[in-house]
Structure 1
Amino acid sequence: MLTRTPERTLTDQLAERFAERIRARLLPAGARLPSVRECARQQGVSPHTVVAAYDKLLAQGLVHAQRQRGFFVRDLGQKTPSAVENKAHPAINSGIAAGSLQGAMGAAGSRINATALIRGMFHQPSAHPQPGAGVLPMAWLQEARFLPAAVRRVAASGALDQGSFSYGEPMGDAGLRAALARRLAQLQIAAAPEQIITTMGATQALDIVSRALLKAGDPVLVEEPGWSVEFARLEALGMRVLPVPRGPDGPDLAVMARLCELHAPRLFVSVSVLHNPTGYSLSPASAHRILQLAQQHDFFIAEDDTYGHIAPEHATRLSALDGLQRTIYVSGFAKILAPNWRIGYLAAPAQLVERLLDTKLLSTLTTPSLLEKALALCIEQGQLRRHGERIRQRLAQARARSVQLALGADCRFAAEPAGMFGWVDTGVDTDVLAQRMLDAGYLIAPGSLFHATREPRTLMRINFGTAQDAHFWKALRAFR
């Protein structure tokens, strides 16, 4: 709660709290601030204090007022509104800001959602475990003691000088690509080392695919809910994003078929196994039909298997069924190993490799060979496999406890709990809930972040590895 001090008034403290969240994108563009009366109740201050704080935010160009609707966060990329737009707004004079978030947002694009999601990844509001985080607990990842040893061993071999003073191999370290080819064979995906290109994480691999295969205006199928960073990236490249509802067995095939007939998409981006945020995995029947549609309508499929290291090897993967004919397999090691190493890769049809490699070279030239050689060593010695097994065991235990706590907080799961993330229905608007939880020092991921348009939703994504804090669920239940 805000506390009056000789140095800082309550008005200044409240204005600074909102300003910090707006600049960090934790309050994204278009979000509505609480009404004056509601904010006063939440923060334990007078309505006059809230009015004065909102007036400061208006003067700083961080929010704008809409008649009879309330105060809304400005898009900081746009010009500052004029004084005429902000002066003497009835909501300020009356001390009441009412209205509909959906009406204010309209058709807000997914770039806003993605910015909020990414900024949240780097924001630590307190020392508490953060259920909205996108990575596993640091303590779990630090159990991979073999990583520093592998780096030292590679550096001692003379690879440090060689890797530091030359650009390295354009496609990536040959040893790592050979190790990845053997790893893919275990997943029944036949890919020669010559079909594999290393990247700066799975995110760059997806970016390379879209830049190489698409041009501005091309329609692209995406799953919804889904990773809003991908929605935003495609929109930023000028693509037309076509959301397809994602269910337990895969995308809604009827909707997908209809979109194919109407728009002739060039690409479908899919998370087949342990989908983010639902945890769903693709069924064989759905996979077969998707490949039929790809053949019939002549589009490629980018299969994002980011969570493959914590998934069963027998899970259905489009790339295994298709034999890398129309599929491009994408994965990385950030989730399971070392987020800051930024090592990812793609495996592609032979006829696309040169085009994809040219795109990689135009963006980053090559990738860091020292870390790639160290990772290859960890894979070859079986250390990565054993580490993955330990992570799966810990995640299963954490998932069981998190589910118990969520149900005890009167929440329910909109999807059967699986993998790293849970898709939880809170019963209240999670955009509003997220701001209240920030007051308590917790970062959550509202459901609106995972949709192409930002509308109020009652869902939120939790990370099972960081959602075992009983105090978090107690606070969430109280705010609900």
Structure 2
Amino acid sequence: MGAVHQRIARRALTPGAKLPSIRALAETMRVSKSTVVEAYDRLAAEGAIRSRPGSGFYVAAPLAPLSLAEIGPRLDRAVDPFWVSRQSLDAGEGMLKPGCGWLPAQWMPIDGIRRALRGLGRTAEIAALTDYGPALGLPPLRRLLSRRLSERGMDAPPDQILLTESGTQAIDLLCRLLIGPGDTVLVDDPCYFNFLALLRAHGAKIVGVPYTPSGPDIALFAQALAEHRPRLYVTNSGLHNPTGASLAPSVAHRLLKLAEAHELIIVEDDIFADFEHEPAPRLAALDGLDRVVRIGSFSKTLSASVRCGYIAGRRDWIESLVDLRIATGFSSPRLSAELVLAMLKDGSYRRHLEALHGRLAKARAATRRRLGALGIEPWIEPAAGMFLWCRLPGGLDAGEIARRAISADLVLAPGNVFSPSQTASGFMRFNVAQCTDDRVYGTLEQAMKAAA
């Protein structure tokens, strides 16, 4: 009964769908046929299913509102992706957020944003302030993005770029286009936790592949392809979230050969590209945007309030994505696109990035030193970016530490939030830009002692 209820909650079974026969379910679940008969009788009695004599059993109950908490493994809220996101988004002024995934407000280009807003208010056409944007998004911004991608070795003409509200919306649109409920999707283990939440919302079967300092474990990646026949692989190539690792050229080439052999589509989420000093290899550049779709965003480097992301991909996919975009969001935010364009053109964004690279380097060194004093060591030394993926000392459980820390107004990101296999309980991700306050380390030390 629980299995049937769960499949209905996940939308794997919808009203009118036929259930497995009594014999088939008994064999699948390794129980007797009489057990299945009783389960179906009870489900019929409560109105969840109905019997059609001579035909079988069918789902009868109307769909309940979708609850993402019911999708995937049942986790304690301290090791749940939504727990970290909600605590970070709703944090009050006094809360510290070393577990969140964005820069502090004072690290963002505030003066440049204000200057661009004033400029738009004075000079922008009325349509830019009031109208919907074009179907693909603001043409001048797409042309500029095309040039930026060309500098990174990617040939993406403006008509192969679709503006979105964010990187998350970009992945959502691609999931709507490329997978259906029950399709298998490969992710890294660990990976960005919202990949897991979004894929579960689409009813995907998630398979994790262990991640190494140079990329996914190629032998296990090939094994997963042969065993599960996935439709998609979703990853970060540069400045991987949460580990900070970068893809090695040899691994990138082998990944693309495997993708071609197994007809695998790769979604390359590259929202951290502008944090790099020297760009790592990109699957989209090596592939020529054939099997690889590239996603970008300015939420992490410019403003999370100015919603602007994009998808670069094959023309036929972009054409279909436009229809999906219109159906689900109608148009990209034109004012946000105008603002991003203004900042990219006037040089303020470039100057902001130059200063940010140096500031983050100092923060990584300082955070690494102070965490080391508590016995917390980084898995690797990232070349750039805001994240340190760290191993806790003495078998400490990151989820337990996070539970204790939140009562002291400290939001942490325990390792199992990022792990589809739930094998990262001894790890934690730290955002170095959010670790500059001395209280982070005092509260963390107390939580570790209490957890021990």
Partner of 1:278: 243
For 1:164 and 1:260, locate their aligned partners in 2 and report how far apart those are by CA, in whole Å.
Answer: 48
- Secondary structure, counterpart of 1:127 in structure 2: coil
Structure 1 residues 424-477: Cα deviation after superposition (integer angstroms, max 9, x where no partner)? 122311111112212322111111111125567121111010112333213322
> Which residue identity does 2:115 align to in structure 1?
A
CA pair 136-288 structure 1, distance change in 2 beyond 3 A: same
Q: Identify which range, 209-218 or 275-284, moves more after superposition.
A: 209-218
Residue 100 of structure 1 aligns with which residue? none
Residue 131 (structure 1) shift: 1.0
1:329: how far off? Answer: 0.5
Of 418, 428, 440 in structure 1, the residue corresponding to residue 408 of structure 2 is 440
Change (3 A) 1:455 1:264: closer
Is residue 108 of structure 2 the alignment partner of residue 146 of structure 1? no
Is 1:223 the equivalent of 2:188? Answer: yes
Aligned to 1:130: 97
Q: Summarize deviations over 1:115-145 as a string: whole Å, max 9, x none.
A: 112212213256254211211111111x441
Per-residue deviation, residues 190-249 of structure 1 (Å, max 9, x unmatched): 110110000011110111111111112111111110112111211111111111111101
- Percent identity of the aligned residues? 34
1:391-406 to 2 correspondence within 5 Å? 391-406=356-371
C-alpha distance in 2 between matches for 1:234 and 1:110:
19
**Structure 2: tracts of 5 or more residues without a match:** 1-64
What is the alpha-carbon distance in structure 1 between the residues aligned to residue 181 and residue 166 of structure 2? 24
Partner of 2:22: none
CA distance in 1, matches of 2:208, 2:167: 21
Instruction: Please give the secondary structure, in 2, of the residue aligned with 1:175.
Output: helix
Aligned positions of 1:283-432 closer than 5 A: 283-418=248-383, 419-427=385-393, 428-432=396-400
Q: Distance in 2 between matches of 1:420 and 1:474?
A: 21
Counterpart of 1:17 in structure 2 is none
Correspondence for 1:256: 221
Aligned to 1:451: 419
Structure 1 residue aligned with 2:33: none
Amino acid at match of 1:320: A
Output one character per residue of 1:158-177: Cα deviation in whole Å (capped at 9) or x when no partner: 43x31344322011000110
Corresponding residue number in structure 1 for 2:84 = 117
Structure 2 CA distance for aligned equivalents of residues 202 and 307 of structure 1: 11
Kept in 2, the 8 Å contact 1:155–1:370? The answer is no
Q: Distance in 2 between the 1:479 and 1:232 partners?
A: 27
Match of 1:239 in 2: 204
Matched residues in 2 for 1:357 and 1:479: separation?
48
The answer to whether the Cα contact below 8 Å between 2:88 and 2:411 also exists between their aligned partners in 1 is no
AA at the equivalent of 1:414: W
Residue identity matched to 1:138: A
CA distance, structure 2, for counterparts of residue 440 and residue 129 of structure 1 = 9
Could you give the per-residue CA deviations for residues 9-49 of structure 1, whole angstroms, max 9, x where no partner exists?
Answer: xxxxxxxxxxxxxxxxxxxxxxxxxxxxxxxxxxxxxxxxx
- Please give the alpha-carbon distance, in whole angstroms, between the structure 2 residues aligned to 1:298 and 1:322: 13
Deviation of 1:150 after TM superposition, in Å, equals: 1.5
Note if contact 2:88-2:97 (Cα within 8 Å) is conserved in structure 1: no
The alignment partner of 1:241 has SS state of strand
Q: For the aligned residues, what is the CA RMSD?
A: 2.2
Per-residue deviation at 1:367? 1.2
In structure 2, the partner of 1:5 is none
Q: Structure 1 392/341 Cα, relative in aligned 2: closer, same or farther at 3 Å?
A: same
Q: Which amino acid aligns with 1:435?
A: R
Per-residue deviation, 1:157: 2.5
After TM superposition, the structure 1 stretch with the greater mean CA deviation from structure 2, 388-397 or 145-154, is 145-154
| 1:345 aligned partner, one-letter code | Y
In structure 2, distance between residues paired with 1:203 and 1:475: 32
CA distance in 2, matches of 1:77, 1:381: 45
Distance in 2, Cα, partners of 1:314 & 1:424: 23
Task: Classify 1:467/1:302 alpha carbon distance in 2 versus 1 (closer, same or farther; 3 Å).
Answer: same
Does the CA contact (< 8 Å) of 1:417 and 1:423 recur in 2? no
Shift of 1:351: 2.5
Paired AA for residue 428 in structure 2: M
For residue 284 of structure 1, report the CA deviation from its aligned partner. 0.3
Structure 1 stretch displaced more, 378-387 or 176-185:
378-387
Normalising by structure 1, what TM-score?
A: 0.75
Query: CA offset at residue 257 of structure 1?
Result: 0.6
Instruction: Report SS of the residue matched to 2:163.
Output: strand
Q: 1:249 to 1:197 in 2, by over 3 A?
A: same
SS of alignment partner, residue 245 of structure 1 = strand
SS of 2:80's partner is: helix
TM score, norm. by length of structure 2: 0.79
Number of aligned residues: 377
CA distance in 2, matches of 1:359, 1:387: 34
State the distance in 2 between where 1:329 and 1:307 align.
Answer: 12
**Aligned 1:48-63 pairs, distance under 5 A:** none
Indicate yes or no: 2:123 matched with 1:157: yes
Further displaced range: 417-426 or 385-394:
417-426
- Measured in 1, the distance between the counterparts of 2:131 and 2:93 equals 42
Deviation larger for 373-382 or 237-246 = 373-382
Partner of 1:36: none
Query: 1: CA distance between counterparts of 2:102 and 2:407?
Result: 22
